[in-house]
Amino acid sequence: MTSAAAETEVQPLLEVDNVSKTFDIKLGLKRATVYAVGGVSISVQPSSTLGIVGESGCGKSTLARLILGLYPADRGEIRFAGQPLPRRGKRPRAVVEQMQMVFQDPYSALNPRASIGQSIAFPLQVQGMDRAEIRDRVARVLHDVGLHGNYATHYPHQLSGGQRQRVNIARALAMAPRLVVLDEAVSALDKSIQAQILNLLEDLQRAYQLTYIFISHDLNVVEYMSNRVAVMYLGQVVETCAADELYQRPLHPYSQGLLASIPTLDGASTEPTRVTGEMPSPLNPPSGCRFRTRCPFATDTCATHVPVLAEAEPGHLVACHLYPSSQPTTTPTTTQGE
Ligand SMILES: Nc1ncnc2c1ncn2[C@@H]1O[C@H](COP(=O)(O)OP(=O)(O)OP(=O)(O)O)[C@@H](O)[C@H]1O
Ligand SMILES: [Mg+2]
């Protein structure tokens, strides 16, 4: 997906600046800290799509929830259209409405006892919109997501998975959002249905000038959808650049390994750069570079110095000691974002 806005320097719609989030959990009788998101910075241009990829547990959904204000951040700042948002507590209503999220499971996101029309109308009623306007809005968004107006009287169990996800998209759209965060929004769907929903999302982006954050563990789908991509590893962004650039020339050893693990049509694999081993526990992330325990190029420096996410090439940011731009100016030994 490409858009002119994505290529030019305009005010980003969303800026996430050095945001961190930990969770305190109980492990038996002990308390422990999960370092879910550690010092993440990303920005998204209006009418463009930022893809976010990374293994399960790397913090994608936590980052999404921080962006939506569903979790308070421990540190850092989030700005929407240049406006800094409070780190905790209530956000301005207009901002809440302009940021919508579509989740993975299209069924659990809908109230089974509410008709489709009621589900879409409810947040509009809360807004205080009048009944005639709500009726028109519901009809319009159902049409825009490719569902006949009759579906307003249907219930979620009467719909297929793909239709239910269309309803979830319609519900987000009804709020007239500027930013839509799609967290594994097509992951639960069959391939053919997935393609239809991806095409729908593209059409809606053009029609409504939407900005997307598209989260998925499916690298092919992210490449198809995104203008830029951020690669996350253990709560941090390790590389971010234009989507085609990432897929042609990944710079970070983790991105290289991740992309090498995409199955090819002929079943051939590119074994030498594959990432092996388990992701370390976010309860105890490695010092220095968090990827060093699985990195084939790791040196002593990687254990003691946190690499800085910085421009290795124009528009191509990477956090890895293989690149001079990532050398820290100070010499901290703690993990980034703690
Ligand atoms: N509410 C929570 N309480 C405690 N730990 C949490 C909570 N939410 C997430 N975590 C932990 O934070 C880390 C990041 O989780 P997150 O769900 O953000 O990852 P993810 O990248 O979205 O994974 P997946 O691809 O499986 O959806 C994980 O270790 C997870 O167990
Ligand atoms: Mg997730």
Q: Are 60 and 54 in contact (CB under 8 A)?
A: yes
Q: What is the pLDDT of residue 265?
A: 53
Residue 335 falls inside a structural domain: no
Domain around 104: 4-326
pLDDT digits (tens, 9 = 90+) for 213-242: 999 989 999 999 999 999 999 999 999 999
Residue 336 falls inside a structural domain: no
Complete edge-to-edge strand list for the sheet that includes strand 30-44: 30-44, 14-27, 75-80, 83-84
- Cβ(34) to ligand 1 under 6 A? yes
CA distance 257 to 224: 19
Residue ranges of the chain with pLDDT lower than 50?
Answer: 2-6, 269-272, 332-338
Ligand nearest to the CA of 281: 1
- Give how far the C-alpha of residue 216 lies from the chain's centroid of Cα atoms, to the nearest Å: 7
For residue 30, the CA-to-ligand 1 centroid distance in Å is: 20
Residue 303 falls inside a structural domain: yes
Q: What is the pLDDT of residue 229?
A: 98
Measured from the Cα of 283, ligand 1's closest atom is 29
Q: What is the pLDDT of residue 261?
A: 77
Residues, CB within 5 angstroms of ligand 2 (ion): 60-61
Q: Are 178 and 206 in contact (CB under 8 A)?
A: no
Ligand nearest to the CA of 58: 1
Residue 334 falls inside a structural domain: no
CA dihedral 102, 107, 109, 113 (to 10 degrees): 140
Q: What is the pLDDT of residue 8?
A: 53
- Cβ(282) to ligand 1 under 6 A? yes
Residue to substitute in 33, 37, 62 for testing ligand 1 pocket (most ligand atoms within 8 angstroms of CB) = 62
- Cβ(38) to ligand 1 under 6 A? no
CATH at 130: 3.40.50.300
Q: What is the pLDDT of residue 333?
A: 46
- Cβ(61) to ligand 1 under 6 A? yes
Residue 67 falls inside a structural domain: yes
Q: What is the pTM (predicted TM-score) of this model?
A: 0.92
Residue 338 falls inside a structural domain: no
| Three-state secondary-structure class, residue 115 | coil
CA distance 292 to 298: 5
pLDDT digits (tens, 9 = 90+) for 122-180: 999 998 999 999 999 999 999 999 999 999 999 999 999 999 999 999 999 999 999 99
Structural domains counted in the chain? 1
For residue 209, the CA-to-ligand 1 centroid distance in Å is: 30
Atom 11 of ligand 1: nearest residue by CA position: 36
- Cβ(285) to ligand 1 under 6 A? no
Q: What is the pLDDT of residue 208?
A: 96
Q: What is the pLDDT of residue 330?
A: 59
* Type of residue at 289: C
Q: What is the pLDDT of residue 267?
A: 52
